[in-house]
């Protein structure tokens, strides 16, 4: 019987399909034991107001309930579920996520296009055992296309373009008719998306082009079944496929050996996107890899459980980029951990993820100084909301942004509006810990920070210093008095002696 603590699951809510993989970890490698895929076509459920229709949500929720039944015995810390392009766009995404989290019985994160690209590359890198080649990886989804250049396990260049097999198919072939004129318009549209990156990507070069995802797999299967190539995708094979599609003339009449029926409605859009990528980047040949976003999610989550967390590297890079005073940041982080130790049980905080979040906030609370000292907490919050942060979901960036925004001055409760009530209650607690740690390090010198004990009694926070310490440090005492006034809007009361 397998150890449930060594079982991991990844759920990918794509714009075209929902995927789930379950794996057992043996010697650091993920051995896939189960795969479930359903063609949901979430992107097709966006109406003209960029809102998910009720029907689209119902189909998606039914799928997630099945996934939830499969993963209910797996530890929550070993599961990662993410939403991609369609959920990035949906104006009613929050409404859907509330229902989706309940259906899956696990929280779903929305990730940025570039984070999606990084994870796709990680999935490919863990499937192809070759550290020497510089790779171009292409993933065509329902609403976006990711292009990555990397080597080994590191993605060096990531990009996510606003085009996919569903969006192109819906825009140009909604009634099913395929003509040379429509094909040409769709091709130009795709090339326009690629125009901004093609020069830079070509200048970087690569040794091997690798495609992943169901769209590229379907194209390769058709090419092989038609005898246009034995094992890879080439410009010549794509040209023959284009002529065949135009000759067929209608999506409903497409019948290729090896092409699943549920892939047919979006097949033309996928062929056009891939052909445009080949043309813009002058690709001569492309191989296929089974590794994709869900495999990348698995390995990313396994890494987090073994203290190999790309988010730590991201924080370090941001600190270096914005010239953060690392000595001060480390002192604040140290006392933050000290206070967290006293509070975590009473306030029911997670000793892993909540501690990580507040430590990152402690390390980055001053990044806004790189813009200006005045209102630097607001500048820091803006940077954290809008920067590319590998490893972080959009929700995590929002939480960090709020922590940094509220680490000083008045606590504006409207800042918590983007999060649910449960998360707001937790965030207020983390804000309090961070603010106290910063107050206790206000002098910014290397003198040993005060030895302080902390007690929690309901909503009352009591700091206890060594006898005479506050008398010898009147500025800290004054700061604590000010802080007590600031905290009063949260219904928490600060006492000290």
Neighbours of 25 (CB within 10 A): 21
Select from 233, 225, 237 the least CA-distant residue to 208: 233
- Tell me how far apart the alpha carbons of residues 5 and 7 are, in angstroms, rounded to a whole number: 6
- Tell me how far apart the alpha carbons of residues 201 and 273 are, in angstroms, rounded to a whole number: 17
Q: Quick one: fold of 4-111?
A: Nucleotidyltransferase; domain 5 (3.30.420)
Query: How many Å from the N-terminal Cα to the C-terminal Cα in the chain?
Result: 55
For the chain, 497 residues long, the average pLDDT of each consecutive 10-residue run is 76 94 86 93 90 95 96 94 94 92 95 96 87 91 95 94 95 96 98 97 97 95 96 97 97 94 95 98 96 93 87 95 94 93 91 94 97 96 95 95 96 91 93 94 72 86 90 89 93 92
**What pLDDT shows up at residue 493?**
94
User: Which superfamily does CATH assign the domain made up of 128-289 to?
Assistant: Exopolyphosphatase. Domain 2 (3.30.420.150)
User: Is residue 109 a contact partner of residue 399, using CB atoms and an 8 Å limit?
Assistant: no
**What pLDDT shows up at residue 1?**
45
Domains 128-289 and 309-446 alike in fold = no
The structural domains of the chain, with segments of one domain joined by +, span: 4-111, 128-289, 309-446
- Tell me how far apart the alpha carbons of residues 95 and 82 are, in angstroms, rounded to a whole number: 16
The single residue listed with the structure tokens 């189909």 is 59
Decide: pTM greater than 0.85.
yes
What are the structure tokens assigned to 273, written together?
């996107």
- Tell me how far apart the alpha carbons of residues 114 and 117 are, in angstroms, rounded to a whole number: 5
- Tell me how far apart the alpha carbons of residues 462 and 339 are, in angstroms, rounded to a whole number: 11
| In this structure, CATH architecture of domain 309-446 | Orthogonal Bundle (1.10)
């Amino acid at each position: 019987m397998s150890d449930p603590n060594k079982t991991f699951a990844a759920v990918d809510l794509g714009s075209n399909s929902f995927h789930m993989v379950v794996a057992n970890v043996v010697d650091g490698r993920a051995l896939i034991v189960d795969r479930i895929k359903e063609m949901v076509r979430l992107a097709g459920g966006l109406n003209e107001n960029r809102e998910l229709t009720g029907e689209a949500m119902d189909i998606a929720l039914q799928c997630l309930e099945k996934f939830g039944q499969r993963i209910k015995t797996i530890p929550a810390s070993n599961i990662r579920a993410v939403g991609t392009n369609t959920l990035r766009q949906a104006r009613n995404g929050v409404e859907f996520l509330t229902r989706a989290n309940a259906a899956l019985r696990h929280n779903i994160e929305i990730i940025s296009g570039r984070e999606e690209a990084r994870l796709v590359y990680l999935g490919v890198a863990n499937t192809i055992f070759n550290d020497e080649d510089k790779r171009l990886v292409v993933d065509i989804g329902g609403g976006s296309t990711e292009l990555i250049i990397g080597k080994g396990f590191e993605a060096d260049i990531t990009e996510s373009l606003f085009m996919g097999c569903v969006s192109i198919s819906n825009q140009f072939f909604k009634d099913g008719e395929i003509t040379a004129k429509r094909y040409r318009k769709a091709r130009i549209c795709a090339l326009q998306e690629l125009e901004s990156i093609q020069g830079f990507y070509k200048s970087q070069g690569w040794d091997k082009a690798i495609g992943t995802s169901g769209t590229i797999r379907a194209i390769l299967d058709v090419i092989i079944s038609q005898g246009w190539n034995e094992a890879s995708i080439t410009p010549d094979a794509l040209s023959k496929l284009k002529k065949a599609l135009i000759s067929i003339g209608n999506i409903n009449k497409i019948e290729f050996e090896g092409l699943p029926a549920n892939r047919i409605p979006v097949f033309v859009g996928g062929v056009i996107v891939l052909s445009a990528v080949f043309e813009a980047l002058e690709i001569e040949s492309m191989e296929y890899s089974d590794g994709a976003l869900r495999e990348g999610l698995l390995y990313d989550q396994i890494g987090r459980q073994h203290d190999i967390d790309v988010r730590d590297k991201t924080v370090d890079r941001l600190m270096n980029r914005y010239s953060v005073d690392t000595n001060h940041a480390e002192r604040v982080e140290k006392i933050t951990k000290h206070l967290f130790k006293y509070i975590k049980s009473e306030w029911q905080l997670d000793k892993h993820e909540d501690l990580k979040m507040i430590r990152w906030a402690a390390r980055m609370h001053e990044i806004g100084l790189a813009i200006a000292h005045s209102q630097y907490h607001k500048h820091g919050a803006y940077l954290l909301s809008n920067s590319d942060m590998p490893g972080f979901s959009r929700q995590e960036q929002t939480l960090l942004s709020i922590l940094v925004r509220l680490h000083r001055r008045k606590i504006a409760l409207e800042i918590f509006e983007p999060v649910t009530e449960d998360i707001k209650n937790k965030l207020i607690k983390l804000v309090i810990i961070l603010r106290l740690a910063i107050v206790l390090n206000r002098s910014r010198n290397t003198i040993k920070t005060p030895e302080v004990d902390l007690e929690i009694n309901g909503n009352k926070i009591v700091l206890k210093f060594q006898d005479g310490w506050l008398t010898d440090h009147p500025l800290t005492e004054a700061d604590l008095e000010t802080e007590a006034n600031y905290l009063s809007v949260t219904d928490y009361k600060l006492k000290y002696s």
